[in-house]
Amino acid sequence: MNNSKNADSTTVLSKPTRRQFLGGAAAGTAAAVTMGFPAIVSAQTPVNFRFQSTWPTVDIFHEYALDFAKKINDMTGGELKIEVLPAGAVVPAFALLDAVSKGTLDGGHGVLGYNYGKQNALALFSSGPAFGMDANMVLAWHKYGGGKELLDKLYSQIGGNVVTFLTGPMPTQPFGWFKKPITKVEDLKGLKFRTNGLAIDLFTAMGAAVNALPGGEIVPALDRGLLDGAEFNNATSDRLLGFPDVSKVCMLQSFHQSSETFEIIFNKDKYNALPDKLKAIIANGVEAASADMSWKAVDRYSQDYIKLQKEDGVRFYKTPDSILSQQLVVWDQIIAEKSKTNPLFKEIDESQRAFAARAMAWDMDTNNNRRMAYNHYFGRKPAPKKS
């Protein structure tokens, strides 16, 4: 073997010409494209979705809808752009489901209780005591305990052409705002009261004259004397909507809506036409917005709870246990009656009950008594005894 010849052939390199260099670069680019490495990314035409919330612009709930849209818009890098309009911009708040189903709107942000009139079982996802579960537990049941499949089945039954996501666990809602404290069940007799969902059945059975109104119409009705009392949701929403301008008494704690969540819906045809990547971003964006909303709620609601007392002169009262226990009794009666005539209502109720039985046992046995810790650190301590 002639080693010197081989050495010469491998070490002596000719200087490439400009034409050779450009030709090689072009070949390399073509090879990269063939192998799946894009050299140039072409701009895609953005998909624009028009959303409407069921909330006035002043309400923090509309802010939550905007927060969700921003997350999606940011994560898709402009491939999907969601524009959020307030209640009434296209359709009234209670007409959102129909508008999205028909494609008048591409999607929306609301609550299931607003669709109660189409199928009363919808309200089981948002009204009532939920067997003691808080809203985060209801979301756990929805995702892992069969609730999502049941909700899809329910929408299919009523012809809802939508894809639905539950999101945003709400804290226990106040019993309501009144002219004077409600101290016993008899105080509800003949009281003109606003609520929604299955809470309509609950308070009607307890003697109230109930009227369902969208959030933006409640305070004007209270101001004109069309209502004697009303509930909406939380310290921030209630303050922004003007409740302390027409009432100075708010009763805290109630089982009528102790575990409500928000709902984000899309027109099914528009949603199914999206690429899988955008569908995945939406699904994960819903959960990100849900967590962020729950954190924002703690911060904002606690601030406005203090402002309502110190700046607006509102007096808060705990709803008496006698009223709370009666709510549970009446709720059971309502559930039993509706289950007799609505098989899907019964199926949803039983699924939720089975999940709550184990989730609640685990929760109560595992988590500390927070009231004990609060009283230790912030509660009024007895004065030291004089010697």
* N-to-C CA span, the chain: 112
Cα separation, 218 vs 226, in Å, equals 9
- Output the known binding site: 173, 194, 231-232, 257
Residue 164: closest CA among 281, 61, 72, 266: 266
Count CB neighbours of 303 within 10 A.
13
Q: Identify the three-state secondary structure at position 52.
A: strand
Please name the amino acid found at residue 195.
T
Closest CA to 114 of 283, 257, 269: 257
Residue 165 — φ and ψ, nearest 5°? -130, 130
Q: Is 339 buried (19+), middle (13-18) or exposed (0-12) by CB count in 10 A?
A: middle
Residue corresponding to tokens 């962020």: 292
Q: Which residues are annotated as a binding site for Na(+)?
A: 232
Q: Locate 128 and state its tokens.
A: 């009532």
The whole-angstrom separation of Cα 321 and Cα 301 is 24
Unique residue bearing structure tokens 């008899």? 186
Q: Do the beta carbons of residue 92 and residue 214 sit within 8 Å?
A: yes
Output the known binding site for substrate: 173, 194, 231, 257
Q: How many residues does the chain have?
A: 387
Mind giving me the DSSP string for 142-197? Answer: HHHSSHHHHHHHHHHHHT--EEEEEEEEPPPPPSEEESS---SGGGGTT-EEE--T
